[in-house]
Amino acid sequence: MRAPFEPKPLARSTAIRMPASRVSVVLASVAVALALAKPCLGAEAAAPIASRAIGVDLEGAAGFGVLATRSGAESVGLIGTQARVHIGYVQLGGFAERSHAAVDSGTTLGGFAGLWLSPPSSPDFDFGLGVARRSYRHDTPGGTLGDYRLSTPVVCARVGVSDRAFEPVGVRVGARLSLGWDMRRHQRSYTSELTRSTPGEAPEGASTVVRSSRQVGGVTVVLTMTLALDVAP
């Protein structure tokens, strides 16, 4: 006698709530810690905001965040790298990131431009806007969603705080809050056939077809810790 078939529920990601106040506290805490690590020079502290003439850095980053879609919110882990040059108050750079959520993974390639501030005796601050291309991938064998490769243009906003040690080649440590808005959203439809068997019934019992859908793409908010090799002549 075969036991009744009970379909396993689809894995659902756990939503993570990241209030804006909590993110602000994290970034503020990093900024304060970096500021306290710098020696306080009385005359320099009173000087107006200034920036290094030129600097180049190669950075690695890792962190976590949330991907919000119409289907819900799911946690995201992210690793990435970035190359940047800042001249005066202007910064230009490019980045590559790899993210992984509960259902699919994403690869993002893009560039940005923005503002660079380096106050005396304080951490450095950067603000940037950029564009990128993100590709979502799902290839779980036997999964109800099926295999897919979907891409979308992305509008990005990046806010960071960091500080460096040693001259002229140094190590830069910091944190960054990144926002990515997928300009194109994909709706992925799928069906599941559920079969139930009862004692005394033929092997093929009554079946029920369940149709559902999932949105691929949305808004991503990620907080990362950064470590970079920095060259500032």
Domain harbouring 72, CATH code: 2.40.160.20
pLDDT for position 233: 73
CA distance 193 to 154: 35
Residue 209 located in a structural domain: no
Domain residues for the domain of 102 are 20-36+50-188+216-231
0.85 cut: is pTM over it? no
Asked whether residue 172 is assigned to any structural domain, the reply reads yes
Is 193 within the bounds of a domain? no
How many domains is the chain partitioned into structurally?
1
**Residue 226: Cβ within 10 Å count:** 20
Please say if the pLDDT value at position 50 is more than 50: no
Does 197 reside within a domain? no
Between β-strands 169-182 and 219-231, what pairing exists: parallel, antiparallel or unpaired? antiparallel
Is the pLDDT assigned to residue 183 strictly greater than 50?
A: yes
Find the mean pLDDT for residues 29-44: 48
User: Is residue 205 one of the residues assigned to a domain?
Assistant: no
Q: How confident is the model at residue 215 (pLDDT cuts 50, 70, 90)?
A: confident
Percent residues over pLDDT 70 in the chain: 63
Report if residue 41 sits inside a domain. no
Flag whether 5 is in a domain: no
Position 177 in a domain: yes
Please state, in angstroms and rounded to a whole number, the distance separating the CA atoms of residues 82 and 57.
8
pLDDT surpassing 50 at residue 52: yes
193 pLDDT higher than 80: no
Rg value, the chain, Cα? 24
Q: In whole angstroms, what is the distance from residue 102 CA to residue 83 CA?
A: 29
Whole-angstrom Cα distance, residue 167 to residue 163?
Answer: 12
Note whether 227 and 172 are within 8 A (CB).
yes
Task: Find where tokens 């991503």 sit.
Answer: 220
Q: What is d(CA 171, CA 227) in angstroms, rounded to the nearest whole number?
A: 7
Two structure tokens written together for 198: 């009862």
More confident call, 90 vs 40: 90
Give CA separation, 39 vs 111, 118, 146, 170, 173, in Å: 34, 15, 57, 17, 16
| pLDDT reported for residue 7 | 45
Evaluate if residue 140 carries a pLDDT over 90: no
- 159-180 mean pLDDT: 91
Q: What is the mean pLDDT of the segment spanning 132-159?
A: 81
What pLDDT score does 65 carry? 95
State yes or no: pLDDT of 161 exceeds 60: yes
Q: Decide the pairing of beta strands 90-100 and 105-117.
A: antiparallel
